[in-house]
Amino acid sequence: MLQEAGASAVAVRRPAELEAVDGLVIPGGESTTMWKLAETFDMLEPLRLRIKEGMPAYGSCAGMIMLSDRIQDGIEGQQTIGGIDMVVRRNAFGRQVDSFESDLDFAGERVHAVFIRAPWVESVGADVEVLGRAEPGDRIVAVRQGPLLATSFHPELTGDTRVHRYFVSMVNSRGSSR
Ligand code: GLN
């Protein structure tokens, strides 16, 4: 999806690989596993540092959880990278069987969104822009704070590159973050 959106994409698993990129996508998956692996591979502090320095990052689903300053319904001791001034509730839309798809407005464009055991955003700070909401409940599911973007849904599963293009243009408009 990143390649289609005009970026050259590489996998980031180690601090040296993180050093080499201008922006980072933190995909869906499982946020407690991501946290534990990030600690095991000494990635948590380097990630926090790059985010603090202003590296653009986009987190979808578990990635949204990782970019959130505060979480609800995490496991004991669960940490995030943080960066976006918001509270995210894990598994808020329900269990795996409650996964669903819906059409919603993302930054003014109609997109088809896939939610898989997805979180929602409970609340945001003053500097966070709400880019999208979803039924049920008109919940916040897409946000941006400066160079940081997060969605509860998985645009990489629909073949529609607009959300990734939105992120790539955030990275390009910033140039190198260092
Ligand atoms: N429920 C997962 C978590 O807590 C996120 C699910 C996903 O990324 N699709 O991390």
CATH number of the domain that 65 lies in? Answer: 3.40.50.880
Q: How many domains does the chain have?
A: 1
Residue 58 maps to a domain: yes
Residue 157 maps to a domain: yes
Q: What does the alpha-carbon distance between residue 74 and residue 65 come to, in Å, rounded to a whole number?
A: 9
For residue 102, the cross-strand partners are 113
24 closest CA partner among 3, 5, 41, 9: 9
**Which ligand 1 atom is nearest residue 115's CA?**
9
Catalytically active residues, by annotation: 61, 154, 156
Q: Is the pLDDT of residue 43 over 90?
A: yes
Q: What does the alpha-carbon distance between residue 54 and residue 178 come to, in Å, rounded to a whole number?
A: 8
Range of the domain at 68: 25-174
Q: Is the pLDDT of residue 163 over 50?
A: yes
Average pLDDT over residues 80-106: 94
Among 26, 61, 64, residue to substitute to test ligand 1 (most atoms within 8 Å of Cβ)? 61
- Ligand 1, CB cutoff 6 Å, lining residues: 28-31, 61-62, 65, 90-91, 116-117
Q: What does the alpha-carbon distance between residue 62 and residue 74 come to, in Å, rounded to a whole number?
A: 11
136 vs 151, more confident = 151
Structure tokens at 134: 């979803």
User: Phi/psi at 115 (nearest 5 deg)?
Assistant: -110, 120
Please report, rounded to a whole number, the percentage of residues in the chain having pLDDT higher than 90. 92
Structure tokens at 130: 């709400």
Residue 17 maps to a domain: no
Residue 13 maps to a domain: no
